[in-house]
Chains A and B, each alone.
Chain A
Amino acid sequence: MSGERFTFTVDGVRVEAEPGQTVIEACDAAGIYIPRLCHHPELPPVGHCRVCTCIIDGRPTSACVMPAAKGMVVENDTPALTAERRTLIEMLFAEGNHFCQFCEASGDCELQALGYLFGMVAPAFPHLWPKRPVDASHPDIYIDHNRCILCSRCVRASRTLDGKAVFGFEGRGIDMHLAVAGGHLDESAIAAADKAVEMCPVGCIVVKRTGYRTPYGRRRYDAAPIGSDITAKRLGAKD
């Protein structure tokens, strides 16, 4: 990157950034965690899930797509934003069929981990119980559409990292769903080692015969909340 480094503030803390960085990138580097669901550092940001919405210079703005700028004032960790983020997670839980109790992704699931982080104890909305298919046609991978949250990570990863464009969206509004090129997984070019599979934040795209391998207590979010890896950078650094 070229250009001079500059600073802005997040919840009153000075954060250094370089030109070209988004707010979320600068905060990640500085050890300040902004909760997110669709954003992944290896993928182009799209601002789909809105979980990373912060109040930036007085306006609600997605931190993953907003370029950092000198002197910006960002509110991130406030009770009001936590409440709104919790509502987003609660709506996702009501919209799909998320059975944490027997899901392979439990303990490693970013949706679940955000529920824990925001203190979601019970569904705030009636479940919609949609009828959604499971595609187990591929020998190594299956897709459980019940668990899809339309984050588009697989869509982006397949295009930009795997060079395959296996996934896309079809439909609009509540009917929007993940579609597979060719109709079924076994007719697509997907492979178990694809980034599109690895980056699924929930238990939607799953590699067969790998479930429940990590014992309870040693999974990603068992001991510490999501984002602890990012905040550890700040705690480790001297103020």
Chain B
Amino acid sequence: MAKPKLATCALAGCFGCHMSFLDIDERLVELIDLVDLDVSPLDDKKSFTGMVDVGLVEGGCADERHVKVLREFRERSRILVAVGACAISGGVPALRNLAGLDECLRVAYLDGPTVEGGGVIPNDPELPLLLDKVYPVQEFVKIDHFLPGCPPSAETIWAALKALLTGADLNLPYPLFKYE
């Protein structure tokens, strides 16, 4: 029987959840026995060729590319898991929601102390269009499980992955359930 497939992506996050994932250390060897890695920054596979069993989403949605990737992950994943505070509630990138997008761009590119000669707000067509706010992923697609934490600890990610891949209930013990 083919091994289940696992895909991961990093949207508006800091990659800390992926780093925490790698922190499962030698259990990575055990994980290789459990899954095949599909689309992920970890193996640099860029596009889906079929369905995957579990998709992990790190980060919230800050621009149109994030929404596109997220929707593709929803389409291709049987179980979609929001991993970490940014995916679940916007996290640190969502601090920009308190100031507003215009204000952030103005301070960064026009009026900032290091801006010389007027400055310009980047508008190359190659750049994904920013959303008005940073949004949690569940505001765009249905999420099957949430793994809170900033980042969720390696123990948390391991416990959750093992449960999902073996079909067990995802009940995190109290010390592994954290918002930070």
Q: List A residues at the B interface (Cβ < 8 Å).
A: 93, 97, 99-103, 106-107, 112, 115-116, 121-123, 126-127, 129, 131, 146, 222-225
Contact = CB atoms under 8 A, between A and B. Distances in A.
Contact of B148 (A99, A121, A146, A224): A121
B80 interface: no
A224 B177 CA distance: 11
A200 B175 CA distance: 24
Interface residues of B, number: 25
Contact of B150 (A100, A122, A127, A129): A100
A126 B139 contact: yes
A145 to B, nearest CB: 11
A116 B180 contact: no
Interface of B: 82, 85, 88-92, 94-95, 97-98, 133, 136, 138-139, 143, 146, 148, 150, 174-175, 177-180
Contacts of B143: 122
Main secondary structure of the interface of A (DSSP, over half): loop
Given A121-B88, A122-B136, A223 B175 contact: yes
B59 to A, nearest CB: 13
Contact of B94 (A93, A116, A127): A127
Contact of A129 (B133, B174, B175, B177): B133
B175 A116 contact: no
Residue among B136, B175, B179 with the highest chain A CB neighbour number at 10 A: B179
B175 to A, nearest CB: 6
B180 A100 contact: yes
B94 A222 contact: no
A199 to B, nearest CB: 22
Nearest to A100: B179
B79 to A, nearest CB: 15
A129 B134 CA distance: 11
Contacts of B133: 129
Given A123-B88, A223-B175, 9 more contacts: A97-B98, A99-B95, A100-B179, A101-B179, A122-B82, A122-B136, A122-B148, A129-B97, A129-B133
Nearest to A221: B174
Nearest to A217: B175
Contacts of B177: 116
Contacts of A102: 92, 180
Nearest to B85: A101
A129 B94 contact: yes
B138 A122 contact: yes
A136 to B, nearest CB: 16
25 contacts: A99-B91, A100-B85, A100-B180, A101-B85, A101-B150, A107-B180, A112-B179, A116-B174, A116-B179, A121-B148, A122-B136, A122-B138, A122-B143, A122-B146, A122-B148, A123-B88, A123-B89, A123-B136, A126-B139, A127-B90, A127-B97, A129-B98, A223-B175, A224-B174, A225-B174
